[in-house]
Amino acid sequence: MIFLILFLISFVQAQVQCAEGVFGLIRRIPLEKTPTYFIRVDTHARRIYMSGDCIVSLDTGKCISNTKTWEPYPISGKGWLTIPDCEGHDGAMCFFKSKDLESETRTKPVFTDKELKGYYQSIGFLNNNKKTSTVRVITYYGFFKDYRVSEDAIQPISSVQSFCAGKDLKLPMLSKDGKMISGWDVEKEKTFIAEINANGSCRDKFQFPYMVGKMDFSYDNRWMAFHASSDSNGKISDDLNLQQQIFVMDVKNKKTFKISSGKENIYYPHFGANGKMYALSQNRISNQYSVLEIDINKATQQSLASGYACSSCSKQQFQNLFSNNCSVLQKDEKVEVVK
Amino acid sequence: MLFTSTGADVTGESYFTNSDFERYVLQKKNAVIYVFSPHMYLSVKGIAEYKKIALSHGFHFLLLRDPNASPQAPYKVKESYHVLASNKLVQLGATQHYPSFLVYTNSKIIGLFNPGYDSPEKFSERLKQLSKK
């Protein structure tokens, strides 16, 4: 009888947890326009950037400007926006003043670097002072370059160099302090996190045996967020019910936490300089998109309390964690619940 | 010519299921399976580039669409495609990023999808290497 009661309690808990949707959710910002998938949040400027013709208010989700941008990535806190391959500068990295672009007072870049080619740029602050900072910009071609940045000017301070030479990597993402890099190792077919030195050489920190979406580091380097796909059955069938949910890994101790579950797709997480995490959500029935603002500390605590976490997860544990069957982790003894 | 898949949704878009995948691999010994999303510009840009390169190296080219794409997605494509509906392909990593591509030879699937856009030169080089295997 006692076992039956305990089973029923755990079953009910699992249902409640599944219904909860997103751990640590602070607010939902409905988007006025159907977005492209990469969102980049600048919490200083209170903007959400994405490709297209809509610069979005982080407060309202509405378009503040209809300026056309493509793959914009802000240098948060400095008022700059990087755009690769900008019109008329094939293959170059272009630097715009965010406010100029938004108000359309100046739609041409203030500075164009024809030396730094490639897309999928990400940015790390090698030092971040109030007046002047040093930032490193990397692109997926495997190149990086350093710049001195103030609110008024941007100046290259290094030549273009390659990083992680010899590694066939995809989806590289630089940490916000410019000291770590994550990506997909094509040859080994593993997701990796490496330390990146001043000269661009990389030293593997750890790997995990599962392909995930593009990762993003928090500003304090403690967390790394990503999405992963699964189908609802988690088994071979002709019915595809693709779900994408977000996960967070503690970079230091390699604990992985499931942050979202349920019927919505939650994907493309990105950290703000304010310590909060942001992610895109798609209601698959109404086809409405929102940006979610998430308290990362609450989210990981709630995930942990619900048993939605594993430490140095094996491939099987990742599969269980990524599964959309909410009760899997509750029932599967193989998953180590982090204490 | 577009591969004939077995199912279609209410909008008339054809779905590409596990059984279609199995059939396709048997019918087309060497192919590039390319998954794009109309939410991701580079994945749309890459369609014509990759198709041209794949065909020039003697590979068939199968174009599949992100199954979660919105009808209001910002980028349109001219080419014919199927909607990805095979969870075998999902398990091979087809939906973690767009574009993603899988190359197979002699009807044998080796490895996982390769996520993210490669330059045409890099993609061409990958196909050359795989052709030698």
* Domains, in order of start, for chain B: 12-132 (3.40.30.10)
The pLDDT assigned to A8 comes to 53
Which of B17, B41, B67 faces A242 most closely, judged by CB atoms? B67
In the numeric block, which tokens belong to residue B115? 């996520």
β-pairing, A288-294 vs A25-30, is antiparallel
What local confidence, expressed as pLDDT, does residue A241 receive?
73
pLDDT the model gives residue B7? 57
Average pLDDT over chain B, rounded to an integer = 90
Give the residues of chain A that fall short of pLDDT 70. Answer: 1-20, 87, 231-239, 324-339
Written as six digits, the tokens of A63 are: 């378009």
B83 is written with which tokens?
A: 């909607």
Token code pair at residue A242: 């693709």
Which chain A residues are within 8 Å of B19, Cβ to Cβ?
Answer: 238
Contact A231 B87 (CB under 8 A): yes
Within 8 A of B93 by CB-CB distance, chain A residues are: 211
CA distances from A285 to A164, A272, B70 (A): 42, 29, 11
Taking CB atoms and an 8 Å cutoff, what residues of chain B touch A184? 115-116
What's the pLDDT tens digit per position in B64-93?
Answer: 999 999 999 999 999 999 999 998 999 899
Contact between A273 and A177 (Cβ < 8 Å): no
C-alpha B57/C-alpha B61 separation (Å) is 11
B10's CB contacts (< 8 A; 6+ apart) are none
Query: A43: Cβ–Cβ under 8 A, 6 or more apart, which residues?
Result: A58, A76, A272, A273, A274, A276
Distance CA B107, CA B60 (A): 12
Look at residue B130 in the predicted model and tell me its pLDDT.
Answer: 81
| Angstroms from B39 CA to nearest CA on chain A | 5
pLDDT at position A107:
78
Assigned token pair, A303: 């995930």
CB contact under 8 A, B96 and A211: yes
**Helix segments in B28-119, DSSP class H:** 41-56, 87-91
> CB contact, 8 Å: B45 with chain A?
no
Nearest to A69 by CA among A42, A59, A77: A42
pLDDT of residue A94: 95
DSSP string, A132-151: -EEEEEEETTTEEEEEEE-S
Measured between CB atoms, which of B42, B67, B112 is closest to A211? B112
**B93 phi, psi to nearest 5 deg:** 95, 20
Handedness of CA A219, A221, A223, A226 (dihedral sign): positive
Contact B112, B102 (CB under 8 A): yes
Q: What is the largest CA-CA distance in chain A?
A: 74
Let me know: does A30 contact A290? Beta carbons within 8 Å.
yes
* Per-residue pLDDT, A239: 58
